[in-house]
């Protein structure tokens, strides 16, 4: 048995005291094993341990040891929401004199200010962009922590994560790498790539019972419990959980199902005073129907959670669940991706989900384990239980064999895709990691892909990508040497797919004075823009195309044109100050989807402005204005007022309509009138900000 105080040979007393005050006195068995293997001696490690078994604490101790030796650590997470959660958690280190920074924002900023922190949290995309933009501090890392490292297997995020780890290791050869995952089937292979030891454990602080609901029974590998069912087994499980004064997470396979499940469960019990107050906080975040539905559920102690919600709404739901004001959350699987939100019980309502092009497909075992692992709250629950649902005996046997007794899938590198290599080869050349084809192949030889497969399998794809980059003026090459052109360096720093840059440049030359509609359509044509799907009820999209025929660029694929046109119309509505709830209803998207689309459109419009400036395409000023308008969702006449903190598009429009159309007029106006328009407190803050600006001018 190893106790916190036994770590005094590595850590000072104030660190040990910080953890002991928070209830950490004795290390869990897998934590003790990591210590014995040399985690605090700087040994790289892959920690494959279940949820709540203490992986994060091990990473924290390694980073603290480095920080107290005045060395820097980078903690990579897959999601912005997870970065925020870790930032809040790590702020406790400030009392030790350890500063913590977070970076998830603009992709073409160097963020040198982050270098003053001992611990820095970033998404893998942001860490990658920091290297592309030449942040000096990334050359000086003692510890790299990679949370959810199994996402190397993800076709979307995996290549960026893999290249980020590869580059950071190249820049910092002596850096300690700590990979965290709940489950890795081929951990030895992954650890070998990282030059790391593996600590693999099934141990959990709270016992997890995995079962299946079938025929009114809770069936476990070692026995059965009865469930009092009238009609709906899921409803019966929720009632049974609430009767034990416990909480439950329900994972649904779509947003629609998550919202419907939460609405069905609202009638089970009245919410308490805490739930009412929380409901009012949610109503204050927006006016969309989604927001109103969520607030109505939360008032009854139930919530739904998915990526269509605004970040503030998701945070309020998570906080309400932690504080026991919310008893039930119906969620899409996004909640399982690392957020610290355990419950007594987990119900996975469907083990299949819809995948575009293939239909309903069973989820991977690794994803099932992520969801099931949320069951059981350390220190609060005597045990945790997770359940799948089966229609009959034979399906139950299949689920028992495949998911409960099955082995998670192996992690495979996804670097071989041409779109991933287009982006990452350009950044590898532009950032100086390779200056010849030979060096480039040697660099690829250090990736996880090369650990798993012969690198020569990539040769044909590498040649195609290099030819594409050369043909489009992003790299120069002769006699085996390769160097980035100024255009190539710019595209890499902007963090866009080189193909996006080519589409923007080629089309920008075709129209002398493109309209706003044309410029927005141009950015939707790029592979970096997530397009809306066109549904049967969207007959108006063809009318939109007919009405804007002169504005739109040529698109060979009509299905793509429909999706691009619908997305263009949505961004036009956003910058035309159409109310968010109307946009949500018309396009059948959540407020969170709208914000993400606007963020992407702003980034691509900014990129178009930078490309125009570099190549003198004549669109720079227009694209810069459109980027600003997309940021705020506002007309051009409001831009002067929108740089003020607390002034969004709605308040700016109220001021403008009252004749306060500029900063000068705002300073001259009666403070009482301003307060009547936008609220006294906000008016006071805005005027204080303006006076401070004048004072420093």
Say whether both 331 and 361 belong to one domain: yes
Query: Which of 441, 508, 506, 427 is CA-nearest to residue 469?
Result: 427
Say whether both 484 and 576 belong to one domain: no
Say whether both 627 and 653 belong to one domain: no
Which of residues 683 and 190 earns the better pLDDT score? 190
Say whether both 182 and 218 belong to one domain: no
Residue 382 has pLDDT above 70, yes or no: yes
* Domain final position from 584, 609, 633: 633
Query: Which of 573, 567, 585, 81 is CA-nearest to residue 290?
Result: 585
Task: Give the model's pLDDT for residue 261.
Answer: 95
The residue ranges of DSSP E strands in 185-313, in sequence order, are 197-200, 208-214, 217-220, 223-226, 248-251, 302-305
Residue 470 has pLDDT above 60, yes or no: yes
Tell me, yes or no, whether 257 lies in a domain.
yes
Say whether both 268 and 180 belong to one domain: no
Tell me, yes or no, whether 67 lies in a domain.
yes
**DSSP track, 309-375:** S-HHHHHHHHHHHHTTS--EEEE-GGGGSS----BSEEEE--SEEEETTTEEEEPPHHHHHHHHTTB
| pLDDT tens digits, one per residue of 630-641 | 999 999 999 888
Task: Give the model's pLDDT for residue 10.
Answer: 95
Tell me, yes or no, whether 412 lies in a domain.
no
Phi, psi dihedral angles at 408 (to 5 degrees): -60, 155
Cβ(414)–Cβ(236) under 8 Å? no
Task: Give the model's pLDDT for residue 288.
Answer: 79
Q: What is the CATH number of the domain that holds 622?
A: 1.10.3380.30
Cβ(128)–Cβ(164) under 8 Å? yes
Per-chain mean pLDDT for the chain: 92
Say whether both 519 and 455 belong to one domain: no
Instruction: Tell me how many degrees the CA angle 71-75-78 measures, rounded to the nearest 5.
Output: 165
Residue 369 has pLDDT above 80, yes or no: yes
Which of residues 335 and 47 earns the better pLDDT score? 47
Distance CA 377, CA 395 (A): 30
Task: Give the model's pLDDT for residue 538.
Answer: 94
What percent of the chain clears pLDDT 70, i.e. is strictly above it?
98
Task: Give the model's pLDDT for residue 65.
Answer: 97
Residue 463 has pLDDT above 90, yes or no: yes
Say whether both 478 and 623 belong to one domain: no
CA 543 to chain centre: 35
Query: Which of 530, 571, 562 is CA-nearest to residue 356?
Result: 530
Query: Which of 391, 353, 345 is CA-nearest to residue 211?
Result: 345
Say whether both 170 and 316 belong to one domain: no
Task: Give the model's pLDDT for residue 472.
Answer: 98
Task: Give the model's pLDDT for residue 336.
Answer: 67
Distance CA 474, CA 445 (A): 23
Tell me, yes or no, whether 469 lies in a domain.
yes
Residue appearing with tokens 């040769």: 459
Q: Cβ contacts of residue 475 below 8 Å, gap of 6+?
A: 426, 429, 466, 469, 482, 483, 484, 485, 488
Phi, psi dihedral angles at 120 (to 5 degrees): -125, 135
Partnered with residue 476 across adjacent β-strands are 483
Tell me, yes or no, whether 639 lies in a domain.
no
Residue 271 has pLDDT above 80, yes or no: no
Mean pLDDT to the nearest integer, 163-181: 97
Residue 60 has pLDDT above 80, yes or no: yes
* Domain final position from 494, 509, 529: 494
pLDDT band at 110 (very low <50, low <70, confident <90, very high): low
Mean pLDDT to the nearest integer, 662-670: 89
Partnered with residue 355 across adjacent β-strands are 359
Distance CA 31, CA 199 (A): 9
Q: What is the CATH number of the domain that holds 478?
A: 1.10.10.10
Q: What is the CATH number of the domain that holds 73?
A: 3.40.50.300
Tell me, yes or no, whether 556 lies in a domain.
yes
Residue 625 has pLDDT above 70, yes or no: yes
Burial class, 391, CB count within 10 angstroms (exposed 0-12 / middle 13-18 / buried 19+) = exposed
Mean pLDDT to the nearest integer, 319-341: 86
pLDDT band at 108 (very low <50, low <70, confident <90, very high): low
In this structure, of 133-137, 143-147, 166-170, 610-614, the range with the lowest mean pLDDT score is: 133-137
pLDDT band at 268 (very low <50, low <70, confident <90, very high): confident
Three-state DSSP state, 406: coil
pLDDT band at 696 (very low <50, low <70, confident <90, very high): low
* Domain final position from 376, 404, 432: 404
Structurally, the chain folds into a number of domains equal to: 5
Distance CA 447, CA 445 (A): 6
pLDDT band at 687 (very low <50, low <70, confident <90, very high): confident
| pLDDT tens digits, one per residue of 560-598 | 999 999 999 999 999 999 998 899 989 999 989 999 999
Full strand arrangement of the beta sheet holding 45-48: 100-103, 119-123, 73-77, 143-146, 176-181, 45-48, 197-200
Domain of residue 136 covers: 4-200
pLDDT band at 109 (very low <50, low <70, confident <90, very high): low
| H-run or E-run covering 654 | helix 649-657
Tell me, yes or no, whether 51 lies in a domain.
yes
Q: Hey, which of 101-105, 131-135, 414-418, 570-574 has the most confident mean pLDDT?
A: 570-574
Say whether both 237 and 271 belong to one domain: yes
| pLDDT tens digits, one per residue of 114-127 | 889 999 999 999 99
Tell me, yes or no, whether 410 lies in a domain.
no
CA 158 to chain centre: 13
| pLDDT tens digits, one per residue of 221-246 | 999 999 988 889 999 999 999 999 99
pLDDT band at 430 (very low <50, low <70, confident <90, very high): very high
Residue 642 has pLDDT above 90, yes or no: no
Say whether both 181 and 279 belong to one domain: no
Both structure tokens of 64: 């603290």
- H helices present in 244-352, as ranges: 255-265, 273-283, 289-298, 311-322
Evaluate the CA torsion angle 667, 669, 674, 680 in order and state its sign: positive
Give the max Cα distance, the chain: 77
pLDDT band at 192 (very low <50, low <70, confident <90, very high): very high
Say whether both 490 and 502 belong to one domain: no
Evaluate the CA torsion angle 346, 86, 156, 437 in order and state its sign: negative
Say whether both 432 and 338 belong to one domain: no
Task: Give the model's pLDDT for residue 230.
Answer: 80
Task: Give the model's pLDDT for residue 603.
Answer: 97
């Amino acid at each position: 048995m190893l106790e916190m105080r036994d770590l005094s040979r590595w850590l000072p007393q104030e660190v040990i005291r910080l953890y002991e005050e928070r209830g950490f006195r004795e290390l869990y068995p897998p934590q003790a094993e990591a210590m014995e293997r040399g985690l605090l001696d700087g040994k790289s490690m892959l920690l494959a341990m279940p949820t709540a078994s203490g992986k994060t604490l091990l990473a924290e101790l390694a980073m603290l040891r480095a920080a107290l030796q005045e060395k820097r650590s980078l903690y990579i997470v897959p999601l912005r929401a997870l970065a925020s959660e870790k930032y809040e958690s790590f702020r406790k280190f400030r009392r030790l004199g350890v500063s913590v920074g977070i970076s998830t924002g603009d992709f073409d900023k160097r963020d040198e200010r982050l270098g003053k922190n001992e611990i820095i949290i970033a998404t893998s995309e942001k860490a990658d962009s920091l290297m592309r933009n030449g942040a000096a501090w990334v050359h000086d890392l003692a510890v790299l922590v990679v949370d959810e490292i199994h996402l190397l297997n993800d076709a979307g995020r995996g290549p960026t994560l893999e290249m980020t780890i590869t580059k950071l290791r190249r820049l910092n050869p002596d850096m300690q790498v700590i990979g965290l995952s709940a489950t890795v089937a081929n951990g030895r292979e992954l650890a070998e790539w990282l030059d790391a030891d593996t600590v693999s454990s099934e141990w959990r602080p709270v016992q997890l019972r995995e079962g299946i609901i079938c025929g009114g029974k809770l069936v476990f590998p070692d026995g059965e419990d009865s469930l009092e069912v009238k009609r709906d087994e899921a409803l019966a499980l929720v009632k049974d959980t609430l009767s034990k004064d416990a909480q439950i997470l329900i994972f649904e396979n779509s947003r629609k199902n998550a919202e419907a499940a939460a609405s069905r469960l609202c009638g089970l019990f009245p919410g308490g005073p805490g739930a009412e107050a929380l409901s009012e906080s949610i109503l204050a975040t927006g006016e969309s129907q989604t927001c109103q539905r969520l607030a109505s559920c939360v008032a009854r102690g139930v919530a739904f959670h998915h990526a269509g919600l605004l970040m503030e709404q998701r945070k309020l739901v998570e906080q309400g669940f932690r504080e026991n004001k919310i008893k039930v959350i119906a969620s899409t699987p996004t909640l399982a991706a690392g957020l610290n939100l355990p419950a007594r019980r987990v119900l996975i309502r469907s083990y299949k989900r819809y995948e575009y092009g293939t239909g309903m497909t069973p989820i991977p075992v690794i994803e099932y384990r992520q969801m099931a692992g949320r069951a059981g709250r350390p220190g609060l629950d005597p045990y945790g239980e997770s359940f799948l649902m089966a229609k009959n005996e034979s399906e139950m046997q299949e689920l028992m064999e495949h998911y409960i007794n099955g082995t998670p899938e192996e992690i495979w590198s996804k670097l071989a895709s041409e779109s991933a290599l287009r982006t990452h080869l350009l950044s590898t050349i532009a950032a100086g990691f390779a200056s010849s084809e030979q060096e480039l192949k040697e660099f690829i030889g250090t990736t996880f892909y090369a650990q798993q497969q012969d690198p020569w399998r990539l040769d044909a794809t590498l040649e195609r990508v290099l030819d594409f980059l050369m043909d489009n003026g992003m790299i120069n090459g002769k006699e085996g040497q390769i160097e980035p052109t100024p255009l190539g360096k710019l595209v890499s720093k902007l963090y866009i797919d080189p193909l996006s840059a080519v589409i923007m440049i080629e089309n920008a030359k075709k129209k002398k004075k493109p309209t706003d509609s044309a410029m927005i359509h141009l950015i939707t044509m790029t592979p970096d823009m997530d397009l809306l799907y066109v549904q049967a009820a969207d007959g108006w999209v063809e009318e939109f195309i007919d009405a804007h025929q002169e504005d739109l660029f040529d698109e060979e694929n009509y299905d793509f044109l429909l999706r691009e046109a619908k997305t263009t119309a949505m961004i036009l509505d956003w910058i035309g100050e159409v109310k968010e709830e109307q946009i949500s209803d018309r396009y059948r998207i959540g407020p969170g989807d709208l914000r993400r689309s606007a963020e992407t459109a702003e980034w691509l419009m900014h990129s178009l402005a930078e490309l125009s400036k570099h190549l003198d395409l004549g669109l720079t000023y227009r694209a810069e204005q459109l980027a600003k308008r997309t940021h705020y969702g506002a007309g051009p006449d409001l831009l002067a007022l929108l740089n003020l903190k607390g002034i969004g598009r709605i308040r700016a429009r109220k001021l403008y309509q009252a004749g306060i159309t500029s900063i000068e007029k705002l300073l001259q106006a009666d403070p009482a009138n301003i307060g009547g328009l936008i609220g006294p407190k906000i008016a006071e803050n805005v005027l204080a900000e303006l006076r401070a600006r004048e004072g420093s001018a």
